[in-house]
Amino acid sequence: MIVVDELVVEYVTQTGEHVRAVDGVSFTLHPGEKVGLIGPNGCGKTTLARCLNALILPSSGRVEVDGIDTRDETRRLELRQRVGMVFQNPDNQLVAATVEREIAFGLENLGVPWEQMQRLVDEALRQFDLERYRKHPPHLLSGGEKQRLALAAVSAMRPHYLILDEPTSLLDPVSREEIVESVLRFAASAADPGREHNPPGVVLITQFPEEVLALDRVLVMHRGRLIADDSPKGIFSRVDRLREIGLEPPVEFLAEAIWREGPSVHD
Ligand SMILES: Nc1ncnc2c1ncn2[C@@H]1O[C@H](COP(=O)(O)OP(=O)(O)OP(=O)(O)O)[C@@H](O)[C@H]1O
Ligand SMILES: [Mg+2]
């Protein structure tokens, strides 16, 4: 379980000004739970995400992952194995000469034995639909394929939690859908009977509300605070509140809201 308790993160700018990027956020993420995190630009989503694997430490409050406090330097490696991160731009994350080497890279660092590594690489290539690119250099892949590769490489390490910070924002609509589908498929396949690992918890940060519809819960941030934590339906049925902070619900919900008001037969 991830526990975020009264988390505050303050940045000090070059001019010495204090910016409170995260301002007293508390929530828990249970193993296997899939959560969306939305909110306007600059509301603190990336800062919060980076706190989950100790890339940023709390100014005050606490972040704990399966009982490991992110401040505990002695368990940092273990923490980073548990919490896999994928960022907006896969180019910053891809380092190897071929697609299969890219997936193997993290596993080698973990000291995974060769045979098991081959099996995990094959499985990741299959799960993220990259088998045909096995020997290709990553930089020749399309944006969507690169992002699937970044996901495959992180997922192969079997993290307990996958934190995805706007993994789709640079992609076209079709690739965006593929990314979200492949994450959900990976998480579901991990739950298949006979698998040796449990489905990962997922935190998906996105500026596209329709991408969180299939998730278990949605967190909404505004000016460093968590202002809502509810089911997608609960979040998006409050159209006015979303619009107040500059967010648009997915069109499905607008259609539903209009329908509930009924046709204006009076005039
Ligand atoms: N290194 C930094 N130094 C000073 N201020 C920062 C730093 N990083 C982020 N901030 C500020 O902290 C706030 C939160 O930034 P953050 O990147 O977490 O927001 P975000 O919700 O991820 O935004 P976006 O949707 O644009 O990705 C913003 O006001 C930002 O300007
Ligand atoms: Mg961000």
Residue 208 lies in a domain: yes
Residue 180 lies in a domain: yes
Q: Once rounded to an integer, what is the mean pLDDT over residues 151-165?
A: 95
Residue 267 lies in a domain: no
Distance 47 CA to ligand 1 centre (A): 6
195 CA to centre of own chain: 23
Q: Is the pLDDT of residue 256 over 90?
A: no
| Nearest partner of 37 among 221, 176, 263, judged by Cα | 221
Please state whether 156 falls in left (phi above 0), alpha (psi between -120 and 50) or beta.
alpha
Give 33's pLDDT tier (boundaries 50, 70, 90). Answer: very high
Q: Once rounded to an integer, what is the mean pLDDT over residues 181-205?
A: 81
* 95 burial level (CB within 10 Å; 0-12, 13-18, 19+): exposed
Domain count for the chain, please give it: 1
Residue 177 lies in a domain: yes
Q: Once rounded to an integer, what is the mean pLDDT over residues 123-149?
A: 94
Q: Is the pLDDT of residue 215 over 60?
A: yes
Which residue, by CA, sits nearest to atom 1 of ligand 1?
11
> In CATH, what number is assigned to the domain containing residue 73?
3.40.50.300
92 vs 50: CA distance, rounded Å:
16
Q: Is the pLDDT of residue 229 over 90?
A: yes
236 vs 178: CA distance, rounded Å:
23
Residue 54, SS3 per DSSP: coil
Per the model's pLDDT, the better-predicted residue between 61 and 254 turns out to be: 61
Task: Specify which residues 69 forms β-bridges with.
Answer: 64
97 vs 140: CA distance, rounded Å:
11
| Ligand 1 binding site (Cβ under 6 Å of any ligand atom) | 11, 13, 19, 21, 39, 41-47
Query: Which residues span the domain enclosing 157?
Result: 2-261
Residue 215 lies in a domain: yes
Q: Is the pLDDT of residue 192 over 80?
A: no
Ligand 1 test: best mutation among 41, 47, 164, 221, most atoms within 8 Å of CB?
Answer: 47
Residue 266 lies in a domain: no
Give 188's pLDDT tier (boundaries 50, 70, 90). Answer: confident
Task: Specify which residues 10 forms β-bridges with.
Answer: 20
Q: Is the pLDDT of residue 259 over 70?
A: no
Give 201's pLDDT tier (boundaries 50, 70, 90). Answer: very high
Q: What's the pLDDT score for residue 251? A: 80
Per the model's pLDDT, the better-predicted residue between 104 and 265 turns out to be: 104
Residue 179 lies in a domain: yes
Ligand 1 test: best mutation among 19, 55, 59, 87, most atoms within 8 Å of CB?
Answer: 19
Q: What's the pLDDT score for residue 252? A: 74
Which residue, by CA, sits nearest to atom 29 of ligand 1?
42
What DSSP letter does each residue of 30-49 carry, written as one string?
-TT-EEEEE-STTSSHHHHH
Q: What's the pLDDT score for residue 13? A: 92
Residue 52 lies in a domain: yes
Percent residues over pLDDT 70 in the chain: 92
| Nearest partner of 206 among 64, 88, 78, judged by Cα | 88
Give 266's pLDDT tier (boundaries 50, 70, 90). Answer: low
Q: What's the pLDDT score for residue 250? A: 83
Which residue, by CA, sits nearest to atom 6 of ligand 1?
11
pTM of the predicted structure, to 2 decimals = 0.91
Q: Is the pLDDT of residue 262 over 70?
A: no
Q: Is the pLDDT of residue 140 over 90?
A: yes
